């Protein structure tokens, strides 16, 4: 299932890739969310050519409801099958086995499958940092899920049961919140028993990254602001991770200056850098990605600045729109 607002070109690229998926019976639902481009016309013609492709048009929405959540709700209700596999229009499956790999984890005991969606590699420092931040985020939510503490997923590569969505009244508890159609919903309904992680290159879905710092800034403020609505235990764990990262850099210089044994803070800091670099490399390979782990120490420092700049803004930001809808 894909929700699309003014995504004609992306849909022209994505839908042929979805139609080529090596899987049995499945339908492709595209929720056309009040687009101003030619998305509707393209989908209308494409649906006539491909029986498994369906369009769910959104003509209007209630004022108090977030646009994407309303669109997703209509799409999920229209789905014929029990399992709903989500991605975005600007995403591209890494081959024709994506559905097959994700569906391997569909079972009577499980209701949620968390997938990995890294950002496409391009040139420039912004892209490098975006990919690093995305990998760190995946390590957190997938790692916690593997340890029995699932708390979020990403809608670019996420599957769950239609019944799970309907039984829990969908996004009802956070309908007006911009964002959170993936992580807030998963934060509410995921458990150790009903959630599974899908790893491997065939299950990867690549996403187009932002190409300007201003667009990335807006995106991350939206993402981080949603975290305020997580349950308190998840916020505590994530906060501890953030503070440990920030603290290691902020306290390093004072520790070196005031320590009676210079080698102690230097050794501790070096061990942390080595450990994080090894974890980044291991996770990247295990997830089916390729990231230059040797750049981790520098990116780790930039990540601290990122947290200190965007974190306070996200904490006090209340209204952010999804594609101005």
Has residue 22 been placed in a domain? no
CB atoms within 10 A of CB 46: 18
Q: Residue 263: what pLDDT? A: 84
Has residue 201 been placed in a domain? yes
CA–CA dist 85, 82 (Å, integer): 10
CA–CA dist 21, 52 (Å, integer): 12
Has residue 281 been placed in a domain? yes
Structure confidence by residue, pLDDT tens digits, 51-63: 999 999 999 888 8
Assigned token pair, 59? 């003509």
Q: How confident is the model at residue 182 (pLDDT cuts 50, 70, 90)?
A: confident
Has residue 178 been placed in a domain? yes
Q: pTM to 2 decimals?
A: 0.91
Over residues 6-28, the mean pLDDT reads 97
Domain count, the chain: 1
Has residue 74 been placed in a domain? no
- Domain span holding position 311: 82-315
Q: Residue 324: what pLDDT? A: 46
Has residue 7 been placed in a domain? no
Q: Residue 227: what pLDDT? A: 83
Structure confidence by residue, pLDDT tens digits, 145-180: 999 999 999 999 999 999 999 999 988 888 777 777
Has residue 310 been placed in a domain? yes
Structure confidence by residue, pLDDT tens digits, 116-139: 999 999 999 999 999 999 999 999
Q: What is the DSSP string of 44-107?
A: HHHHHH-TTEEEEEE----TTS-HHHHHHHHHHHH-SSSEEEEEETTEEESSS-HHHHHHTT--
Q: Residue 325: what pLDDT? A: 44
SS (H, E, C) 199-239: CCHHHCEEECCCCCHHHHHHHHHHHHHHHHHCCHHHHHHHH
Q: Residue 290: what pLDDT? A: 87
Upper half-sphere CA count for residue 158 (Cβ side, 13 Å) = 23
CA 262 to chain centre: 41
Instruction: Report CA-CA distances (Å) from 110 to 190, 230, 251.
Output: 10, 22, 43
Over residues 90-118, the mean pLDDT reads 97
Are the beta carbons of 11 and 89 closer than 8 angstroms?
A: yes
Has residue 292 been placed in a domain? yes
């Amino acid at each position: 299932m894909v929700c699309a607002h003014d995504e004609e070109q992306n849909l022209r690229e994505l839908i042929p890739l979805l139609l080529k998926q090596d899987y049995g019976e499945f339908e492709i639902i595209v929720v056309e969310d009040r687009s101003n481009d030619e998305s509707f016309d393209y989908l209308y013609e494409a649906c006539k050519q491909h029986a498994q492709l369906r369009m769910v048009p959104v003509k209007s929405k209630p004022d108090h409801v977030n646009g994407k959540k309303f669109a997703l709700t209509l799409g999920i209700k229209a789905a014929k099958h029990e399992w709903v596999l989500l991605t975005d229009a600007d995403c591209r499956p890494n081959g024709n086995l994506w559905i097959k790999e994700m569906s391997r984890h569909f079972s009577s005991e499980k209701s949620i499958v968390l997938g990995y969606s890294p950002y496409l590699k391009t040139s420039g420092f912004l892209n490098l940092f975006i990919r690093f931040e995305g990998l760190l985020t995946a390590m957190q939510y997938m790692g916690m899920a593997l340890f029995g503490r699932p708390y979020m997923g990403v809608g670019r590569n996420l599957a769950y049961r239609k019944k799970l969505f309907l039984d829990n009244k969908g996004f009802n508890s956070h309908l007006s919140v911009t964002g959170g159609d993936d992580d807030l919903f998963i934060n509410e309904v995921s458990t150790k028993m009903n959630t599974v992680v899908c790893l491997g290159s065939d299950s990867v879905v690549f996403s187009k990254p932002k190409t300007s710092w201003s667009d990335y800034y807006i995106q991350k403020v939206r993402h981080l602001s949603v975290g305020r609505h997580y349950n308190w235990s998840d916020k505590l764990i994530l906060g501890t991770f953030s503070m440990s990262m920030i603290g290691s850099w902020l306290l390093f210089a004072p520790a070196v200056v005031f320590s009676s044994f210079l080698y102690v803070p230097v050794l501790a800091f070096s061990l942390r850098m080595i450990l994080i670099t090894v974890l980044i490399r291991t996770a990247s390979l295990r997830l089916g990605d390729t990231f230059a782990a040797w750049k981790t120490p520098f990116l780790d420092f930039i990540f601290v600045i990122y947290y200190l700049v965007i974190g306070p803004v996200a904490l006090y930001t209340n209204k952010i729109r999804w594609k101005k809808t």
